[in-house]
Structure 1
Amino acid sequence: MDTSLDLPSTMPGAAPSSHAVGRKAVISREDIIAAALKLVGPHRSVSSLSLREVAREAGIAPNSFYRQFRDMDELAVALIDRAGRSLRQIIGEARHRATAEQSVVAGSIHAFMEQLRSDDKLLHILLCEGTVGSDAYKQAVERELRFFEDELRLDLIRLAAANQTGLFEPALTAKAITRLVFTMGASAMDMPPDKQDELTAQLVTMVRMIIVGTQSLAAMQAKPAA
């Protein structure tokens, strides 16, 4: 990963380059995050960015980067954390608008896939960085997935109580659903829209199968021994 500092680009007494003139005197964390977001996308992960490249996009000298971030790993973790918060808010709002169990499943998955279709770079970061880059990236993505799982676990418990359907191993059920959706979502990034629609319908069915399974296991567990 490129963490080298800029070398002077002009000789003493020479006019400064146009790039140097355009550099910002003051830079914030938000400026650097915004610059990194401009560079990433479905086919460009955070792990492929160099410090020099981000600094150039932000209009700063590379050594100015260190005033806000320790290194590229810290920047990547900040992006992953932001991606997780953004998506949790979107999906959380979709879940809380729903009342019935089936609409919670469908609403959450449709909200997820709509973000994928909208070319949401934050979602792309969350889907890609768990399999590439440093251990810090992977740990950050894992932490965000656990946040999703815990919020879903609480919603599943709430719905099971309201509908009196029973729930077997709420944490494991939430993990199965979360990991399935994120894995399938990662594979959907390069799909054409019609294939994404097909995948969305399949995901809704698969998640409902998991929920029916957990309800059946809960019912079996509740049966008195013969």
Structure 2
Amino acid sequence: MPQPTPLRPPQPRAAPGQPGRKPQISREDLIAAALRLLGPHRSVSTLSLREVAREADIAPNSFYRHFRDMDALAIALIELGGRSLRTIIREARLRLRPGRSVIRTSIQTFMEQLDADERLLHILLREGNVGSDAYKAAVERELRTFEEELCADLVRLSEAGGRPIHAPALVATAMTRLVFAMAATAIDLPRERRGEVVEQMVQMLRMIMEGAHVLAEREER
């Protein structure tokens, strides 16, 4: 099983030699400052602009050079988490070994990210439920991107395996929503209990897939 790759947040640049606030700061510095303030049980919606500015060691007004407001920063964090996680899952599939289940490998890789780097994945899992409307819309966009990529994978695997699949886009939606809903619950569980959640997800996803194959085969009769 490939080792989990941490969802790496942008690394802040070194502070200048002179004491006091930084004369210049990048968008990535602000993102990194916000991530340092977040934890497993703290939503991005609880962060204040002044708090992020203080962590980044800048004057609050300097924040607006890179983000319109805190909503814009939060959406950038959500988008970063989505891109990073998609890359990790994609790489895990590319490294898939013969005889390994695509479903199990993908789910295990996904769940291992809860421990590899909690902040970015936790943002994705939590903000879709407790964030503002803007945050929820950003999470929804990331989920739809996941679904589009998964749909393409399902069609490719179906053709390679010689088994048709019914409504692959709907199947991708069902699988994505199931995984994210169960993972949002799993982040609050002790690590030793997460294995149970993995097994449940694998079985449920296999049931969805088998049902989609059966429906497609019935349509062809």
What residue number does 1:112 align with? 110
Q: Report if the CA contact (8 A) 2:40-2:118 is conserved.
A: no
Query: Structure 1 residues 180, 101: closer, same or farther in 2, change over 3 A?
Result: farther
Q: Displacement of 1:201 after TM fit?
A: 1.1
- How many residues in Structure 1 have an aligned counterpart in Structure 2? 203
CA distance in 2: counterparts of 1:185 and 1:97, whole angstroms? 23
Q: Displacement of 1:100 after TM fit?
A: 6.9
Larger radius of gyration: 1
- Say whether 1:30 aligns with 2:28: yes
Q: Displacement of 1:97 after TM fit?
A: 2.6
What residue number does 1:12 align with? none
Matches within 5 A, 1:121-160: 121-160=119-158
What residue number does 2:91 align with? 93
Q: Deviations over 1:172-212 (max 9, x none)?
A: 00000000000000000111111101111111111111101
Aligned-pair identity (%): 62
Query: Structure 1 residues 59, 133: closer, same or farther in 2, change over 3 A?
Result: same
Q: Report if the CA contact (8 A) 1:102-1:208 is conserved.
A: no
Structure 1 residue ranges, 4+ long, deviating more than 6 angstroms after superposition: 99-102
Q: Displacement of 1:99 after TM fit?
A: 6.8
What residue number does 1:206 align with? 204
What residue number does 1:187 align with? 185
**Which letter maps to 1:200?**
V
- Secondary structure of the 1:42 match is coil
Q: Report if the CA contact (8 A) 1:55-1:62 is conserved.
A: yes
My pick for the range that moved more, 208-217 or 89-98, is 89-98
CA distance in 1: counterparts of 2:112 and 2:31, whole angstroms? 23
**Which letter maps to 2:60?**
P
Q: What residue ranges of structure 1 are gaps of 5+ in the alignment?
A: 1-20
* Aligned with 2:168 (options 167, 170, 189): 170
Q: Report if the CA contact (8 A) 2:89-2:110 is conserved.
A: yes
My pick for the range that moved more, 130-139 or 196-205, is 130-139
CA distance in 2: counterparts of 1:26 and 1:175, whole angstroms? 43
- Secondary structure of the 1:190 match is coil
RMSD between aligned residues: 1.4
What residue number does 1:65 align with? 63
Q: Deviations over 1:82-122 (max 9, x none)?
A: 00000000011112333779611011101100001224311
Q: Report if the CA contact (8 A) 2:146-2:176 is conserved.
A: yes
- TM-score normalised by length of structure 2: 0.88
CA distance in 2: counterparts of 1:101 and 1:216, whole angstroms? 23
